[in-house]
Structure 1
Amino acid sequence: MASVQLDDFIAGWIGGAASVIVGHPLDTVKVAGFFKGLSFPLASVAVYNSVALGVYGNAQRAICEYRYGEESRRGPALSDVAAASAVVGLVTVAIGAPVDLVKIRLQMQTQTVGSAKLNLIGAGSIHSIAVNTQPLYRGPVHCISRILRNEGISGLYRGVGAMYLRDIPGYCLYFVPYMLLCDWMMPEGSTTPNLLSVCLAGGVAGTISWGTATPMDVVKSRLQADGVNETKYKGILHCIQKSYRTEGLNVFFRGTAVNAIRGFPMSAAMFLGYEFTLKILRGQ
């Protein structure tokens, strides 16, 4: 059985840090405060991406070894990439759900203790009424402790079902296009894509994945932001039904342009950092 290789995790951390730095301003356009909450995702989302890419690389090798044997030099088939992508979704959501929830809550700092109401608009966009009272959260640790105190351990995993429905197909639509585009753009006679191909393939893959994930991202973000002052949604289906009844079908596609646009530079930066670091670590 293939042993776990740590270089994928290290390269994933570098790529994740690069994607956070590039994408955070665009990420916060859909919520509040241009650079609010940057320190937390920079420290945590980089680790999250490290796990995602580390799991992907190792899962893909394990699947190929199981299917084709240890000595096979055959590259992964599309089905192998899709299966490894699904594994990534299953593993990372368990880690990423609390991270994502805390990030969204920290970006809601225009919402205060005395505010009357949240108005969520598409893909987690938050417009709120601020009054002259203390912010809800002083930082990540205070945010976590407040959620645990007010909502319990399940509060940290609010929206986890929607996140699974977003991320398992989302990762398939991330890694499969990336592999196909890298293969298509690979120079003749080369065994690895050049960095320009990596950048372009990663950017396009990010646009595809984030663009198609928008409807479930809307649901996920609404569920995660729910419960601050009141609980409006009983679950995924109730959130979908209530959102559709009050705002129509278009509500699930608001933010698609922002998601697709931010997906390109973020994913390009992540895959560039990942592949470049792998080349260094593996002496290629």
Structure 2
Amino acid sequence: MSDMAPGPDSKAGDGKQTTTAAKSFISGGFGGVSAVLVGHPFDLTKVRLQTAPAGTYSGAMDVVRKTLARDGVKGLYRGMGPPLVGVTPIFALSFWAYDLGKKIVYSATPDRVSPKLSTGELAFAGFFSAVPTTLVAAPAERIKVVLQVQGQGGKAQYSGPISVVRGLYAEGGLRSIFRGTGATLARDGPGSAAYFVAYEQAKRALTPAGADPSQLNLGPVIIAGGLAGVAMWSFAIPPDVIKSRLQSAPQGMYSGFFDCARKTIVQDGVKALFKGFGPAMARAFPANAATFLGVEASLKAMDKLF
């Protein structure tokens, strides 16, 4: 996924590092599954901190302690079904769209001297990757959040993802299922720009002089992937808080993204926009290291097979 040197799937002779659509799609799916398996307990902790009434939890470890006491270890994986099912198309779309974004840059700059993309060009491709991805990610996030926040007190309303879909559709049709789409893009657009820029720049920095970044062993890939996740969540937490509150709130509580942001600040102060920062950052490195490990390992395997 580096843009530094031509790989086996690049256009012959042009030196532009772009991967075939099929390989981008498949490798992104492998990366996404890896991310969910590693990161879901951190994500559940983050969402519960972001959405619970003030005073429910004293911090991230209190969320973990109470969740384990109430539901056991399986409670930390509540709501994992939707992202695990949806993660293959979500991450596959993300990595496919990122590669497409790079191709758009190359098409728009036919007379460029170097195939090496600038930071701004990488940021464009990263932001672009979030646009089609949001169409799949938003409803999956909505279902996941609804499942994650239930069970904190009293009987769970929904038995699983299908039950949530039916309930949300009965509540407000497709509009209810897609609630939080704008907030998802507000989080994932800047976040994805930071994500891919950090990954590419970290790979460049970790590549020995005269070596090819595409040939890095898995150690530097893990480090670069982890740093990419940290960079992404450094930008994404405030819109993620709004997204979580929008998607978990009762029907009619908020009229939209800005109404939710305003009411959150009025009620809990600006600091509320950074709730869940700790677990998000704790999750960022291992989950995204796993993501890029899955992506790069699957790409290498596919390159050997075909």
TM-score range, shorter chain: 0.7 to 0.9
Match of 2:174 among 153, 156, 171: 153
Amino acid at match of 1:206: G
Structure 2 CA distance for aligned equivalents of residues 100 and 279 of structure 1? 30
1:96-139 Cα shifts (integer Å, max 9, x gaps): 100100111122331xxxxxxxxxxxxxxxxx4315xxx32122
Match of 2:184 in 1: 163
Structure 2 CA distance for aligned equivalents of residues 208 and 82 of structure 1? 12
Q: Tell me, what secondary structure is at the counterpart of 1:37?
A: coil
Structure 1 CA distance for aligned equivalents of residues 253 and 81 of structure 2? 30
Of the structure 1 ranges 261-270 and 194-203, higher mean CA displacement relative to structure 2 is found in 194-203
Match of 2:42 in 1: 26
Match of 2:241 among 202, 208, 218: 218
Match of 1:78 in 2: 119
Match of 2:96 among 34, 44, 54: 54
Match of 2:55 in 1: none
Match of 1:231 in 2: 252
1:202-225 Cα shifts (integer Å, max 9, x gaps): 101101211321111000100001
Moved over 4 A (4+): 1-4
Match of 1:116 in 2: none
Identity across the alignment (%): 31
Structure 2 CA distance for aligned equivalents of residues 76 and 283 of structure 1? 27
1:171-186 to structure 2, matched below 5 A, reads: 171-186=192-207
What is the CA-CA distance between 1:236 and the residue it aligns to?
1.5
1:13 and 2:32 aligned = no
Of the structure 1 ranges 18-27 and 41-50, higher mean CA displacement relative to structure 2 is found in 41-50
1:64 and 2:127 aligned = no
1:266 and 2:290 aligned = no
1:69-218 to structure 2, matched below 5 A, reads: 74-110=115-151, 128-131=152-155, 135-192=156-213, 193-218=216-241
Q: How does the TM-score come out when normalised to structure 1? A: 0.85
* Kept in 2: contact 1:20–1:46 (CA 8 A): no
* Kept in 2: contact 1:20–1:42 (CA 8 A): yes
Give RMSD over aligned pairs: 2.2
What is the CA-CA distance between 1:197 and the residue it aligns to?
1.3
1:60-93 Cα shifts (integer Å, max 9, x gaps): 1342244236x98713222221111121111111
C-alpha change, 1:276 and 1:68, in structure 2 (3 Å) is farther
What is the CA-CA distance between 1:186 and the residue it aligns to?
0.6
Q: Tell me, what secondary structure is at the counterpart of 1:282?
A: helix
Structure 2 CA distance for aligned equivalents of residues 156 and 49 of structure 1? 20
Amino acid at match of 1:218: V
Match of 1:44 in 2: 86
Structure 1 CA distance for aligned equivalents of residues 95 and 121 of structure 2? 15
Q: How does the TM-score come out when normalised to structure 2? A: 0.79
* Kept in 2: contact 1:12–1:52 (CA 8 A): yes
* Kept in 1: contact 2:183–2:243 (CA 8 A): yes
**Length, aligned pairs only:** 261
Structure 1 CA distance for aligned equivalents of residues 19 and 265 of structure 2? 48
What 5-or-longer segments of structure 2 have no aligned partner?
1-10, 12-17, 49-66, 68-74
What 5-or-longer segments of structure 1 have no aligned partner?
111-127
Amino acid at match of 2:187: R
* Kept in 2: contact 1:223–1:235 (CA 8 A): yes
